[in-house]
Structure 1
Amino acid sequence: MDPLKSFSLLAKVAITTIIALFFLGGCKDKPKSTPTPVKTAPVQKDSVVAQIEEKKEEEEEPFKLNEENAIDFFFDYQKGLTENKVKITTSLGDFTVQLYDNVPYHKANFIYLTRKGYFDNTQFHRVVKDFIIQGGNSDDMETANKRKEIGRYLLPPDTRKGYKHHRGTISMPSSEINNPHMLASPYEFFIVVTKPGSYHLDGDYTPFGKVIQGMDVVDKINQQPVGKGDWPYQNIYIEKMEVLE
């Protein structure tokens, strides 16, 4: 063989081998590098954001009635209020009252408190024979706590609708505390049992309904023996009150 050709062949083989080794080396997996963890500073709430969140918490406090908002509240509440009958179940039986539609604030107040369950487990705490029975109060803390949750407010009298205190009339007593205008105590009510009525009450108190069923139960309550302050010796409970749809 020609020496030059032999040398040329060897050179080609060598060059081919070097190129192959170069590519094989380049194809090997490179070691993966471990990422350096990045330290983050704790997030602090902006003072403005904190104030907004605090205000939001305040706005979510439960609604309570008071002297400033009660009239507006019941004005809106009575709109479209078609229900006007309430069944009162007591420990001595039950009776039903029908509320007058044109005494809107007192009607709305009575239905609102009934639906809130305020009257449940209260008592007929004042019984004057042949005169009235008065309910909506009690001698335990449960009733006081209910009043606290609902709010403190009074209602203006509404005595010019022509209703009189006939027998069976349900009316609202006035508050005894700093009350020269005879504002009504919204948490209590009384029912007249006098025959034919107690008309000396007209003009001072607001009739807002009448007993339409179960007057015999009202009379039975009125005949219970009482002690000091006209409070019955044996508690007479209003077990439940419900609005009749």
Structure 2
Amino acid sequence: MKVLQFLLLGLSLFFLSCEDTKKRQQTIPDDTSEKSKETPIQKKDTLTAAKKTTTYPKITSNNVVEFLTEYGEANPETKVRINTRLGQIDIALYEDTPLHRANFIYLIKQDYFDDTFFHRIVPDFIIQGGNSDNASTNKKRYAIGEDYLIPAEINNRNHTYGSVSGAKEYRANPDKQSMPFEFFIFLGPQSSTSHLNGNYTVFGKVTSGMDVVEKIANLPADEGEWPQQNVVIEAEVLE
């Protein structure tokens, strides 16, 4: 009889133990639900990713004016900075050249200029940036729109020390349109501006860092006016 009571007591304890375990297992899904996994940091990362995936149509010769006009209205910034291994160059963009200003801001915000170079340097004349021999530069141009030019916005503003202008793909350009991806900073004497004034759009001016421009201009270069050591550009919008 005692043996039977002992067996019944053992079985009761066994079933109670299984029931407790089962109850603990049932509470686990509530603590590890998908809702509880979504932390505030993850939500923030999701929003950041969404902003980065904003896409724009390719810019073409047909939509360039409409696109840059609308983009410029939504992005009115006029101050930018170019970072190089030799220092910083701050630039103020002119509001009366709205297409060039909008294009420059757009390229910076699309990270186009990052890892491009000041690829042409001429002492006492200009430094030109926005190109490189990296495959990534051509990929960026293709993604943004490689078949468009910026209509000329030439006014009475001449080239002076520190002027920032749009480069041209070729000089025989009757419409005086600018290449969208390259620009040059003028540092030469006024006597060197005769073929520039009235032919190239001046859309900004260096406000700080002309000493850096001078350093870049006087670096050793090859016969093609390309610096022997690359001057890599990292660009950012200030305000």
Percent of matched pairs sharing the same residue: 46
Residue 216 of structure 1 aligns with which residue? Answer: 211
Q: CA RMSD in A?
A: 1.7
Q: Give, in whole Å, the separation in 2 of the partners of 1:225 and 1:136.
A: 19
Q: Which of 214, 231, 238 is 1:236 aligned to?
A: 231
Residue 85 of structure 1 aligns with which residue? Answer: 79
Residue 63 of structure 2 aligns with which residue? Answer: 69
Letter matched to residue 78 of structure 1: G
Within 5 Å, which residues of 2 pair with 1:83-232?
83-152=77-146, 153-160=148-155, 162-176=156-170, 179-196=173-190, 198-200=192-194, 201-232=196-227
Q: Give, in whole Å, the separation in 2 of the partners of 1:114 and 1:197.
A: 32
Q: Give, in whole Å, the separation in 2 of the partners of 1:171 and 1:198.
A: 15
Letter matched to residue 165 of structure 1: H
Asked whether the 8 Å contact 1:166–1:197 carries over to 2, the reply is: no
Residue 26 of structure 1 aligns with which residue? Answer: none
Offset of residue 174 of structure 1: 1.2
Deviations 1:63-111 (A, max 9, x none): 2111111111011111154310001001211110000011100000000
Greater share of helix: 2
Deviations 1:142-190 (A, max 9, x none): 1000000101210111112x21100000001112298442211010000
4+ residue runs over 3 A deviation: 177-180, 195-198
Letter matched to residue 203 of structure 1: G
Q: Give, in whole Å, the separation in 2 of the partners of 1:66 and 1:197.
A: 36
Which secondary structure state, in structure 2, belongs to the residue aligned with residue 167 of structure 1? coil
Offset of residue 62 of structure 1: 6.2
Structure 1 residues 111 and 149, CA, compared in 2 at 3 Å: closer, same or farther?
A: same
Asked whether the 8 Å contact 1:114–1:243 carries over to 2, the reply is: yes
Deviations 1:2-57 (A, max 9, x none): xxxxxxxxxxxxxxxxxxxxxxxxxxxxxxxxxxxxxxxxxxxxxxxxxxxxxxxx
Asked whether the 8 Å contact 1:173–1:188 carries over to 2, the reply is: yes
List alignment gaps of at least 5 residues for structure 1.
Answer: 1-60
Q: Give, in whole Å, the separation in 1 of the partners of 2:201 and 2:81.
A: 20
Normalising to structure 2: TM-score of the pair?
Answer: 0.73
Deviations 1:216-238 (A, max 9, x none): 00100001011121111111111
Q: Give, in whole Å, the separation in 2 of the partners of 1:241 and 1:220.
A: 18
Q: Give, in whole Å, the separation in 1 of the partners of 2:181 and 2:59.
A: 12
Structure 1 residues 206 and 62, CA, compared in 2 at 3 Å: closer, same or farther?
A: closer
Q: Give, in whole Å, the separation in 1 of the partners of 2:56 and 2:164.
A: 31
Higher Cα radius of gyration: 1
